Amino acid sequence: MTDAPPLAGIVVVELGQSVAAPFVGQLLADLGALVIKVEKPGGDDARAWGPPFIDGAAATFQALNRGKRSVVCDLRDPAQHALLTRLVLERADVVLQNMRPGQVDSLGLGAEALCARKPSLVYCNIGAFGRRGPLAERPGYDPLMQAFGGIMSVTGEPGRPPVRVGPSIVDIGTGLWAAIGIVLALYRRASSGAGGVVDVSLFETAAAWMGPFALQFLASGTLPGKQGTGQAGIVPYRAYATADGHVVVAAGNNELYRRFCTALAHPEWIDDPRFATNPDRVASAAHLDALVEPVMAGRPNAAWGSIFDAAGVPCAPVQDVGQLLAHEQVGALGLLASLPGLSQPVMGPALSLDDERPFAQTAPPALGETTIEALLAG
């Protein structure tokens, strides 16, 4: 990576809270942008999403807001509103917002109003259900979209109640789409001089996550169901209980299946006609699992890891968060970093540039640590 980070000189005004917009702002800050987080007088709701709390704010907030500057602004106060508008017009390259549908427009801070006054502005709307349609005015949150978008229908164990995927994959996924859109708009602006409007939504992200399942349904007419730790269409491709935990095996083709059977010391399963090809194994998954499960239960995770690694069978133990953080691979990649002013290390972005991980070097901001007047002055 060059001495200057990729987005050095770019100023972002973040009108948002919770997860999606803060994640985008943090990613842009990691890439070098100056991100100004505009908070209501009580602060981002995520500041109170605890316990646990770290250095005065919830751990969730601290994980999503490094590298930013915080200003407090009552958007309904005419004087403060005027100052914020001036900040956007004089300094901002990007505005991103995930406020309730219609709220920014009613305040005169929407894309149409601001881009008309500053055509070079890149404006990103992070919505719930998208810009149009019968649900466009409804709010949305990650678990609602995991439900409405069908994700919960394929998550969990067969015959059990719906399960939410633990990480906020809809919020974070929407944030990634937003970041891509913003960077694309900035790239286009570099040659044309014109900004533009980026629209992303939680619903569109949830629907996009379901793309393979949608095509499976369209091709077969059969609704995809819950697979537990497995994957419809590939067998064996799931977690098996061991003597002290679980190990996921991903034998995604015939050669890997042969290696898997050999590693289990049951080569007779290789030529069993019930398991000859992957479609055969999918049709006979229950029979195969009934054979595999007692064998896997006879050894601990570490033993199976060594056996499968030696055989060239892709596998992984099911780790908890503590095991993840303690693993040497996390340290080798530099995924965790300590920030001045923050008592616990934080997880960095999942990319590197020129073998360096871009990482904002300041802790998440205290509420209202700076002012719009100070930002305008300097």
Indicate which residues carry an active-site annotation.
171
Residue 52 one-letter amino acid: P
Q: Any residues with CB less than 8 A from the CB of 328 and at least 6 apart, and which?
A: none
Q: Give all strands of the β-sheet with 237-241 in edge-to-edge order.
A: 237-241, 246-250, 315-317
Q: What share of the chain is helix, strand, coil (3-state, %, to 5)?
A: 40, 15, 45
Q: Give the SS3 label for residue 241.
A: strand
Cα separation, 292 vs 180, in Å, equals 43
Best CA proximity match to 183, nearest among 175, 133, 204: 175
> Quick one: DSSP state of residue 356?
B
Q: Which two tokens mark 321?
A: 């968060």
Handedness of CA 257, 262, 264, 267 (dihedral sign): positive
Provide the 10 A C-beta neighbour count for residue 332.
8
Whole-Å CA distances, 228 to 34, 162, 357: 43, 11, 34
